[in-house]
Amino acid sequence: MTNSTKTAAPQILVVIVNFGTASLVIDCLTSLCTEHQALPGLYVVVTDNASKDDSVERLKNAVSDQGWQDWVDVMPLSSNGGFSYGNNAAIKRALASDDQPDLILLLNPDTIVRPDAIVHLVDYMDAHPEAAIIGSRLEDPDGTPQRSAFRCITPGSELLSTARLGLIRLLMPKWEVAMPARDKPHPADWLAGASMLIRRAVFEKIGYLDEDYFLYFEEVDFCLRARRAGFSCWYVPASRIVHLVGAATGISDTRAKAKRRPSYWFRSRHHYFRKNWGRIGAIIADLNWIIGMLIWRLRNIVRRKPDPDPPRFLRDFLYHSVRLRGIEQ
């Protein structure tokens, strides 16, 4: 929605980043209609990261055909700078305007908003001023909950993440990054960026999403920065949102055979550890990842089980780990 068409100061900015997923975005916008009716101050900006198809035209036509012009704006961008870049473009424009939103919701294009999902997030924010970032319960279409609240990713947790060994979980429970899905609100170190509501004050104090992340780890980094600045993150399961995992990127779709991990995943991971844990911390994280992966591979060989990981995962990790550390010299 452009400034010229706004008639009232918005309260909630919803940002959806599109890259060649117009059909998913249109379904997501359709699910947001009831939320807009319940929250008149809600408006949506769909940023398009220079899609190589006719996404912009399709999205603009859908907005016009459905009569969404008063609360949905399509914002084409000149290049594909990644998830942080796409979100920041809309957030920067909104915070530079005279009618700044109080709350900013980052919402994936591969989501379907259940009735009152955004209402529950806003109500929780209103009732809990200590909560600065809150996340929804993400779930499969059949209602099965997904892991949506997490402990901090540290160099130590990398061993458990790749070894996937029950004994380590028992000995080091705080190394388990993904927290079990619970039915009551609770604090978390970070939340899934597929649906994350953030107070404007967080951006004003710590800045925007780090655009050195093309995709992945950006929400982990943002929540870590926010917590270090004194803000808290909360998981609110009353807000239920269907997340079609991997539908937008094709990377983490658990319903399909794993695809080879793209180079930007390795760059984002390395940037996260180098930025937040230093050069030594990044090296320790890599060593723990490799040790855990070797344990996992050995177990699969002994048990004669197939490898479910992406093709060439260990080889690609070793290549990118050495290469990225070499670039830093």
The SS3 of residue 98 is coil
60: Cβ contacts below 8 Å, ≥ 6 apart: 74
243, 275, 295 — which closes off a domain? Answer: 243
pLDDT band at residue 329 under the 50/70/90 scheme: low
286 and 228, same structural domain? no
Write the pLDDT tens digit of every residue in 17-75. Answer: 999 999 999 999 999 999 999 999 999 999 999 999 999 999 999 999 999 999 999 99
**Biggest CA-to-CA distance, the chain:** 66
Residues 231 and 134 occupy one common structural domain = yes
Domain limits at 208? 3-146+181-243
My answer on whether 186 and 51 are in the same domain is yes
User: Which domain CATH number covers 123?
Assistant: 3.90.550.60
For 70, phi then psi, to 5°, come to -75, -15
Residues 203 and 322 in one domain: no
3-state secondary structure of 6: coil
Cα distance between residue 91 and residue 87, in whole Å:
6
Tens of pLDDT, residue by residue over 144-181, are: 999 999 999 999 999 999 999 888 888 888 889 999 99
DSSP three-state, residue 144: coil
318 and 199 in one domain? no
The pLDDT of 307-325, averaged and rounded, is: 91
Inside any domain, residue 174: no
> What is the tens place of the pLDDT at every residue in 216-272?
999 999 999 999 999 999 999 999 999 998 766 656 555 557 889 999 999 999 999
What's the whole-model pTM score?
0.92
| Residues 53, 195 within the same domain | yes
Query: Which three-class secondary structure string do you get for 179-241?
Result: CCCCCCCEEECEECCCEEEEEHHHHHHHCCCCCCCCCCCHHHHHHHHHHHCCCEEEEEEEEEE
- Same domain for 237 and 269: no
Identify the H or E element spanning 48.
Answer: strand 42-48
Give pLDDT tens digits for 66-114: 999 999 999 999 999 999 999 999 999 999 999 899 999 999 999 999 9
Q: Which H/E stretch holds residue 17?
A: strand 12-18
Does 195 lie in the same domain as 319? Answer: no
Q: What confidence score (pLDDT) does residue 256 get?
A: 57
- CA–CA–CA angle 297, 301, 307 (5° rounding): 55
**282 within domain boundaries:** yes
**The pLDDT of residue 6:** 39
pLDDT of residue 163: 94
Of the chain, the end-to-end C-alpha distance in Å amounts to 45
Structure tokens at 180: 């079990």
What total number of domains does the chain contain?
Answer: 2
